[in-house]
Amino acid sequence: MGQNYTFEVGERMDNFRFYVPTDVRFGKDRLEEELTDVLDAYGKTVLLAYGGGSIKKNGLYDQITKLLEANGNTVVELSGIEPNPRTETVDRGVALCREHQVDVILAVGGGSTIDCAKVVAAGFYFDQSAWDLVLARRTFAGPALPLVTVLTLAATGSEMNSGAVISNLATNQKLGVGAASMIPKASFLDPQNTFTVPQYQTAAGSADILSHLFENYFKVTEGTDVQDGIAEGLMKTVIKNCPIALKTPDDYDARANLMWASSLALNGLTGGGKGGAWSCHPMEHELSAFYDITHGVGLAILTPRWMEYILSDTTVGKFQQFAHNVWGITETDPFTAAKKGIQATYDFFKACGIPMTLPEVGIDEEKLEIMAEQAVKHSTIEKAAYVPLTAADVTNIYQECLTESSFI
Ligand code: NZQ
Ligand code: ZN
């Protein structure tokens, strides 16, 4: 990997389990030949879960319902799954599955649809409400109905992981839950299904992929060349291909690379062996919980400010490595290189058309402190993050997001 960088914090690579049994069917036009075979392994009664209607506009709904009809499936629909899916929608899905004794769930959409479907799948066997299941967080270990996905937006990695994030707007909570039983059995990843993703969501999804990579890359663990080298390659892939997809939405290679990067960024490949808490996600989930904003946009706003806030003698080596290997910055002075890398990250998000201040997404000073307290309460950011953050630190980072920034 060329140059050596000095890290002053660190533990060696942790033990880890890499268990990703999802049968990935990547590429063009595979549904016609393969979808019903995959579903038939689990049964004939299918819950078709989808969002607010994008799949009706782009023809995917018609294509899939025709295939299921020709195959003699009984189809029950859970429609209208919201971006930042609501716990009430999960309850509605669970009720449908019980009423119709569903055998398998087919989720067609982005991360919100897939996340909702995961918790519906587990909720089927769970005798309390969906929200009680979410409150179990990562300790949940119950069974789930089999889930098959058709991904339509490159962003979350939900198509190939065990996690789901559900919102409860009544309590201003947005929390993650996950279990091995919720990992999709199969996922169809056809880049053509992302050609219709609007620019704003393409940019937000790319920011989310990058954030998953950053969250794993900036950890105290040392000696993780495999994970960090893969992460750098995936970061460069997103940085190269997002602008192409923004300019030419039907560029197959750009969409294909973003799609596969989405899955690999959060399936354990770059995070296995690197313990500790994430930083920007807990802070972002509060912005979404209180203001229902787009997840990737919140992450893009927070990330460069967080990077600058935690830059210190202890962390500068890793930021220098990031600047050199990801952004191609040749500056040799560690702090100058690090700051140029942070500036490049900010400029990239801005050039992708992402609003880079909180007021632009409707967030002012009013709730910053309460959101900061909740971010600390709902995570281990205060104890186990790359650089541990108190509620006061989180408030400071939010405040930096109120106006435009310059890092050099
Ligand atoms: O609802 P429809 O009509 O389908 O429209 C969606 C939605 O408005 C639209 N869209 C999706 N595919 C499209 C399309 N529009 C046109 N053409 C297509 N092909 O895009 C909008 C956003 O969709 P959504 O599913 O909300 O986006 P995303 O995939 O970014 O998912 C975000 C959710 O996932 C959670 C986030 O917190 C958020 O709730 N996350 C899930 C994770 C996981 N399961 O591992 C990890 C992430 O860090 C994240 O927290
Ligand atoms: Zn994310």
The per-residue pLDDT for range 10-20, each reduced to its tens digit, is 668 999 999 99
Output the six-digit token pair for 351. 């050039």
DSSP assignments along 66-106, one per residue: HHHHHTT-EEEEE--PPSS-BHHHHHHHHHHHHHHT-SEEE
d(CA 110, CA 114): 6
Q: Which SS3 state, helix, strand or coil, does residue 78 take? A: strand
Determine the residue type at 29: D
Q: pLDDT tens digits for 202-221?
A: 999 999 999 999 999 999 99
Q: Is 365:395 a contact under the CB 8 Å cutoff?
A: no
- Measured CA to CA in angstroms, residue 82 lies from 52, 110, 169, 357 at distances of 7, 10, 12, 24
- Cα-to-centroid distance, 22 and ligand 2 (Å): 20
Q: Is 381:282 a contact under the CB 8 Å cutoff?
A: yes
Output the six-digit token pair for 171. 């309590």
Which of 305, 315, 311 has its CA nearest to residue 284?
305
Say yes or no: domain 199-401 is CATH 3.30.70.1350: no
Q: Is the pLDDT of residue 2 over 80?
A: no
d(CA 4, CA 76): 56
User: What's the average model confidence in pLDDT over 22-47?
Assistant: 98
Residue from 156, 174, 194, 279 whose mutation best tests the ligand 1 pocket (most atoms within 8 A of CB) = 156
The verdict on the CB of residue 163 being under 6 Å from ligand 1 is: yes
Element at 407 (helix H, strand E): none
Q: pLDDT tens digits for 320-365?
A: 999 999 999 999 999 999 999 999 999 999 999 999 999 999 999 9
Longest dimension (CA), the chain: 66
Residue from 153, 174, 259 whose mutation best tests the ligand 1 pocket (most atoms within 8 A of CB) = 153
User: What's the average model confidence in pLDDT over 214-236?
Assistant: 96
Q: In angstroms, how far is CA 60 from the centroid of its own chain? A: 23
Output the six-digit token pair for 242. 């997002």
Q: Is 96:102 a contact under the CB 8 Å cutoff?
A: yes
What are the domain boundaries of the chain?
23-194, 199-401
Q: pLDDT tens digits for 44-78?
A: 999 999 999 999 999 999 999 999 999 999 999 99
Question: What does pTM read for this prediction?
Answer: 0.97
For domain 23-194, the CATH class is alpha beta
Which of 50, 124, 127 has its CA nearest to residue 85?
50
The verdict on the CB of residue 281 being under 6 Å from ligand 1 is: yes
d(CA 304, CA 397): 10
Residue 76 pairs in a beta bridge with 47
pLDDT at 138: 80
pLDDT-based confidence at residue 137 (cuts at 50, 70, 90): confident
